[in-house]
Structure 1
Amino acid sequence: MAIIIPGSFHRSTALRVISVLFVLAVVVPDAGGRHQHHRHDCLPFTCGRLSNVSSPFRRRGDPSGCGFTSYELTCTDDKATIQIYEGTYSVTGINYSDSTFWVVDANISDSPNTLPQRIVPPYPTTTLNTGCHTIHIELEPASSRWSAFVNCSQEINNNEKYRPVACLNNTSRSFVYVLIGSIYSCYIDNLEPSCGHLAITPLHGNDTRVLEENPSCEDVVKIMRGGFAVRFPYTIDAAYSFKECRAETFR
């Protein structure tokens, strides 16, 4: 039987995401107003198989000046895990050069009938700084393409965006499909009337091409087990970015 994440996204959540993503679409491409956050108050540590781990990461019980709370790792003898929204992910690598780290869904099994944990796009916190509007962003997936799994009470035959994933159908009247696209198209676009979101997760590399070619269940599981990159925390000087964007628009 398929493991299905119940419920669909609420309208208020979608509206909040639309607002956030509209701002990010304008300001994120402008690297001139983007600033990475690092805290170096604590010594590097080992976590699972990862060594020399430092800011923005921290461990439970570390002093408040060590790393960021949302980047807190749970360490065992052979594994480092992190909570991203409501899901648990294994951290398999950290790249301090490009300020990203790699995570894999800790609950994805080899079974061909499991879904990834639901991933929700980032909700940046907004603060005001001496007249400059600053957006602070944490745990943002470093992906431009996403996959959305939807559950439909009716079979979809007239929409090529809906690629069937038959092994996830848990009843004869339940049809699971995967949609591929930007976060806008996967999360915000109107679904078919009989459908609701089950899960949405970032893609990487050749994942998009594979999923666009009527993937088998084995393809889906392999891709979900591959994981994705997540960015370190950073802030955007939105006032600066909007100014530059406007200049580009009317040039």
Structure 2
Amino acid sequence: MVRPKLALICLLALALSLFPHASTARSINKHCGVASCGNLSVSYPFRLKSQPQGCGFMWFELVCNNNRTIFPTEDGDFYVQNISYVNKTIHLLDVNVANHNCSIPLSSLPLPPIFNFTFQNDVAIYHYNYSEYSKIYVVNCSMKMNKSLHGVNYINASRCSSSPQTNNNFYYFMDGGTPPSNFHPSCTVEARVPISLHNISGLSTFDIYKKLMMGTRIKWDLWLVNIVIRDWSSVVNRLLSVLRLLALVAISMAMYILGNVFLILSGQPIVDFAKFSEKSL
């Protein structure tokens, strides 16, 4: 009986060593120094994609492209105009708006008071000044709309009057407060764009683009991120504890069976499994 117990203890140590980093989250280095992209300085909690993984949070990962810092989201890319580490704000501008090539702003930012970005299967939490910003819709219609139809304002989203609409698609700005039931059946929403206005009624295309060129300033709070990390780490640690237990049980069962096979072959009596389990516990 000494040999099975000794084997069980050794296997327990082996199983516990299978997950050496189970209780530690990925180490975040706050002292990686300052990276630069163009004239913008990037430091903790942000990181450039080219930096080592331990620098800053992946949730705050930025991309440097042709000396322009880009804030990537699943719904489009934004140029980073400025980062204030004192006020904890990042100033974003839709890449399509910044490019003076008749492109339509099709990058969306969610606009509840607190919102998430999903990026590379991770989530970053930001929020914005709800009293300062609202949203407007960019819609794609298969037919040309009158400027006002059934009480809904359709403002031409093409800033280049000389460029014809192609493929029978017509893009318009619509006020963010427009009920979905008031959308024309031929129109689909392409983007929800933040703007520092609460009503676009009576505005021209030029007026709207002038406001869009001002960009959007959003704020981050690390305590929110730390809550996410803490809760996620707790879930991971519990899952790893279950996996360790299952691995221990599986290895112990296998060694018990092998031990009894050895005893049979050596002509010694088989140890009762239930008694062995009780004594082992």
The interval holding the TM-score normalised by the smaller chain is 0.5 to 0.7
Query: Which residue, out of 38, 41, 47, partners 1:58?
Result: 47
Please give the alpha-carbon distance, in whole angstroms, between the structure 2 residues aligned to 1:221 and 1:142. 20
1:163 partnered with 2:164: no
Please give the alpha-carbon distance, in whole angstroms, between the structure 1 residues aligned to 2:124 and 2:49. 21
SS of 1:226's equivalent in the other structure is coil
1:45 partnered with 2:21: no
Cα separation, partners in 2 of 1:40 and 1:117, compared to 1, 3 Å: same
Q: Note the 1:131-210 alignment, pairs <5 A.
A: 137-138=124-125, 144-154=133-143, 155=145, 157-165=148-156, 167=158, 170=165, 174-181=169-176, 185=177, 189-190=180-181, 191-204=183-196, 207-208=197-198
- How far does residue 192 in structure 1 lie from its aligned partner after superposition? 2.9
Cross-structure match for 2:238: none
TM-score normalized with structure 2 length: 0.52
TM-score normalized with structure 1 length: 0.57
Cross-structure match for 1:26: none
- State the aligned residue count: 181
SS of 2:55's equivalent in the other structure is coil
Please give the alpha-carbon distance, in whole angstroms, between the structure 1 residues aligned to 2:169 and 2:50. 45
Structure 1: runs of 5+ lacking an equivalent: 1-37, 126-135, 239-251
Please give the alpha-carbon distance, in whole angstroms, between the structure 2 residues aligned to 1:104 and 1:90. 5
1:99 partnered with 2:94: no
Query: Which residue, out of 222, 241, 244, partners 2:210?
Result: 222
Structure 2: runs of 5+ lacking an equivalent: 1-27, 229-281
Larger radius of gyration: 2
Percent of aligned pairs with the same amino acid = 25
Check whether the contact 1:164–1:175 (CA below 8 A) recurs between aligned residues.
no
Bigger proportion of residues as helix: 2
- How far does residue 150 in structure 1 lie from its aligned partner after superposition? 1.1
Check whether the contact 1:141–1:202 (CA below 8 A) recurs between aligned residues.
no
